[in-house]
Chain A
Amino acid sequence: MSLSLIIKREFNAKVRNKSFIVMTFLSPMLFVAMGCLIAYLTSVNNDVVNKVAIHDAKGWLHDELKSTDKLKYTDLSTLPLDVAKKTASEEYEGFVYVPPVDNISLLTSKVEFLSNESPNLELVGGIEDAIDDKVTKYNLKELNFDYGKIENAKAESKLHLSKFSGEESHKEGSYLKMGLGAMMGYLIMMFIIIYGNMVMRSVIEEKTNRIIEIIISSVKPFRLMMGKIIGTSLAGVLQFVIWAVLGVTLFLVLTMVFNIQVGAASNTAAVQQASQEAMSGAQLYISEFFKLPLATMFISFLVYFIGGFFLYSSIYAAIGAAVDSETDSQQFLLPIILPLMLGVYVGFFSVISEPHGTVATVFSMIPLTSPIVMLMRIPFGVPLWEILLSVAILFITFFGVVWFAAKIYRIGILMYGKKPTYKEIFKWLKY
């Protein structure tokens, strides 16, 4: 009865908070907006055309250095060299000087590139490739090889990937799993930190408001703490569900818009070709996405969120009870953040390179890191018993930790004045 009252109050206090509403609805929009912005900025960058002048009296590289969408070569070979150089330095971003050597193989060391600013590496590489190509072709010809035949003889392989179970897999699938796993692990870390902090703040608020004594003359401190943790986690789950719904809606809307664009742009054959290629890439990702253990992922996200959140937020609650203000809490927060960071880094470096390796497996069992590491592993397919074992360890640890946390909480909420040391907090455990 009183527990449900507390849960309800905490849930309402979180959900009615303006920052919750803003966070829930604005942050996905910000995410999308940021994605669009990055895409836009990249495209703006792509639109810039580099203008490069070229002086190639003998036309050695005339066929190789072709203008493209991003790069425009202007031939100034007709001008005298010094005039061309001067013009180039004033009106062009770079100047390629191909000296009128007699032997093509000399080009490898004689071609110069001049620019006002340090040159774009891509451009330099392109020119070097062009020279290499030209000289290689020349050399091959000198050696009586037929270049065309060599080209035709070149092989290009593509591994056919599949699992022992017969299921086909693609490289794209692996990228997707990495991406999703990393996202879920990261999301869990953020959720734990944000919502754990909320629990801590709410404890500190009751302490500084001095309402705490009234409340605990009505309910047991343990219930108050649990009510707080459960109420806050429900607010977190609600936020996650809203995001999931928004995400799916957005995804559907985007695919619709995408389809319409494809239809509208299919005027020329080339564009149609390109868009079909893009589509097949996107379709591949989508089909890979639906091959993932989605239900397992969603359920395990919730289970690990709740387990991890309960574990961490009981520590957050104990810290909140021990201190008088949020600024005092920093010293105690470090030991919480460290395992979370460790989880994320182990996830990024070890799970992604070897999802079922020893390091990843061990860290997906250790309760402080398992919510993050296991979630990163799950898209790669984890046996059910491992998930169950890890969840069991997580919840057993939670009960142990909550017992300690409750003791600190019980004493701490009635202590005012000075910031306690670790030693004092340890003493509270014995009261």
Chain B
Amino acid sequence: MEPILEVRNVVKQYGDYTALNSVSLQVPRGSIYGLLGPNGAGKTSLIRIINQITMPDSGEVFLDGEKLAPHHISHIGYMPEERGLYKTMKVGEQALYLAQLKGLSKKEARAQLEYWFEKLEIQGWWNKKIQELSKGMAQKIQFVVTVLHQPKLLIFDEPFSGFDPVNANLIKDEILGLRDKGATIIFSTHRMESVEEMCDNIALIHQSNKLIEGGLIDVKKQYRSNTFEVGIAPNSIEQFFADMALNTQYISEKAGFKTLDDELKLQITVPKGSTPKELLNYLLRHGDVTYFVEKIPSVNDIFIQTVSKR
């Protein structure tokens, strides 16, 4: 299936500084796409280009197969990291204004707004001014404003910052719900556990270059190190360690996983040319194996590993 968003060789420079160095991305339709990268990597520059806030110096962006054009703004919803609303404007009026700027008619905007206000149980806020709301409440309005015009592509920059766990969960469910209804979500965050939990695809940008892109599982496969976490109750501890010391094939270190028993916990890497089965057989010769699991690299590991390597 054709990707909903395709970024081709986008370059963006600010004076002598290169913010994006020929970055290409493909965002699959109906996915949740995690855009990762350390601070200053170029994520915001890329997002601004997708939102047509700034223009790329070279390269192209395609939405739904069409070269990005001004009318596409009505198909994109954007919640920036630095967010805010007009403090002295009333909630309802403000939301109507912002929706109309996105191209909705006043009637459509009102209908959508009523739907969302009811869904989030904030009907009573219509005539309140933003300055009368708490930060979390204002964030809810911000979310509603972002999704009001039913965009095909939603871009959230750090969507959960500023929400308490209850509201963060509420918003997370709404995001997943929007995905299930067919929207595609690009999602830029530093909270790796939400990437782990929600994203189907990820891309990692570091120092203006894209380093990793792909399905979450595929990326993890790329980064698997054939390391196994092992719990073992050896027949003789002394003999096991002596044998391990002689054995140059397996490199082991202490592992930190948790079990209920008091066995020996190790992390052992299976070298190239060997199989996990051989490792398991080897271990079984020394005692009872109570735990044997492949160590799957977390997004966090991949992130740190990739970023610190460069």
Which residues of A are in contact with B by a Cβ distance under 8 Å?
A: 1-2, 5-6, 9, 13, 205-206, 208-211, 213-220, 414, 416, 427, 431
Set B15, B51, B86: member contacting A211, Cβ < 8 A: B86
Q: Which chain A residues border B52 with CB–CB below 8 Å?
A: 217
A210-B84 contact given A217-B76, A218-B73, A219-B101, CB 8 Å threshold: yes
A216 touches B80 (CB 8 A): no
- The smallest beta-carbon distance between A16 and chain B, in angstroms, is 9
Contacts A13-B89, A214-B145, A216-B53 hold; do A5 and B101 have CB atoms under 8 A apart? yes
Contact residues of A: prevailing secondary structure:
helix
Q: Who on chain B is nearest to A208 by CB?
A: B84
Q: Please classify how large the interface on chain B is, using the bins under 10, 10 to 19, 20 to 34, 35 or more.
A: 20 to 34
Whole-angstrom CA separation of A157 from B200 in the bound complex: 100
List residues of B (32-56) whose CB comes within 8 Å of A's CBs. Answer: 48, 51-54
Smallest Cβ distance from A69 to chain B, in angstroms?
57
Interface contacts (Cβ under 8 Å), in number, total 62
**Which residues of A have CB within 8 Å of B84?**
208-211
Query: Is the beta-carbon distance between B53 and A9 smaller than 8 angstroms?
Result: no
Complex Cα gap A208–B84 (Å)? 8
Majority-rule SS of B interface residues: loop
Which A residues are in CB contact (< 8 Å) with B82?
210, 213, 416
Complex Cα distance, B80 from A215, in Å, reads 11
Q: Distance in Å from the Cβ of A82 to the closest Cβ of chain B?
A: 77
In this assembly, does B285 line the interface, its C-beta being within 8 Å of a C-beta of chain A? no
Bound complex: CA of A13 vs CA of B48, how far in Å? 28
- Contact mask for chain B residues 94-110; partner A; CB cutoff 8 A; 1 contact, 0 none: 00011011110000000
Chain B nearest CB, measured from A209 CB (Å): 4
Q: Are B89 and A213 in contact (CB under 8 A)?
A: no
A208 to B82, CA, bound (A): 10
Minimum CB distance partner of B146 in chain A: A214
Q: Measured between C-beta atoms, what is the minimum distance from A232 to chain B in Å?
A: 15
Q: Tell me the nearest residue of chain A to B155, going by C-beta.
A: A217
The 8 Å CB contact of B14, one of A13, A214, A431, is: A431
Q: Does B224 contact A (CB under 8 A)?
A: no
Give chain A residues whose Cβ lies under 8 Å from the Cβ of B103: 1
Q: Which B residues lie within 8 Å of A217 (CB)?
A: 51-53, 73, 76, 78, 80
CB closest chain-B residue, reference A219 = B101
Instruction: Flag if B100 contacts A5 (CB, 8 Å).
Output: yes
Q: How far is the CA of A219 from the CA of B103 in the complex (A)?
A: 10
Having A5-B100, A213-B83, A431-B14, one finds 12 other A-B pairs with CB under 8 Å, namely A209-B84, A210-B83, A211-B84, A213-B78, A214-B83, A215-B98, A217-B73, A218-B73, A218-B101, A220-B70, A414-B48, A416-B82
Report the minimum CB–CB distance from B11 to chain A (whole Å): 14
Selected from B53, B89, B100, the residue in CB contact (under 8 A) with A414 is B53
**Between-chain CB contacts (< 8 Å), 17 pairs:** A1-B103, A6-B101, A13-B86, A209-B86, A210-B82, A210-B83, A210-B84, A213-B53, A214-B83, A214-B145, A215-B98, A217-B51, A217-B80, A218-B101, A220-B70, A416-B82, A431-B14
Shortest Cβ distance from residue A5 to the other chain B in the assembled complex, whole angstroms: 5
Contact A218 B98, beta carbon cutoff 8 Å: yes
> When the two chains form their complex, are residues A210 and B80 in contact, meaning their CB atoms are under 8 A apart?
yes
For B14, list chain A residues within 8 Å (CB). 431
CB-CB < 8 A to A220: which residues of B?
70
Check if B83 sits within 8 Å of A5, measured CB to CB: no
Q: Is B15 touching A427 in the complex (CB atoms < 8 A)?
A: yes
Is B128's CB within 8 Å of the partner chain A?
Answer: no
B97 touches A5 (CB 8 A): yes
**Do A213 and B80 contact each other (CB < 8 Å), given the known contacts A13-B89, A431-B14?**
yes
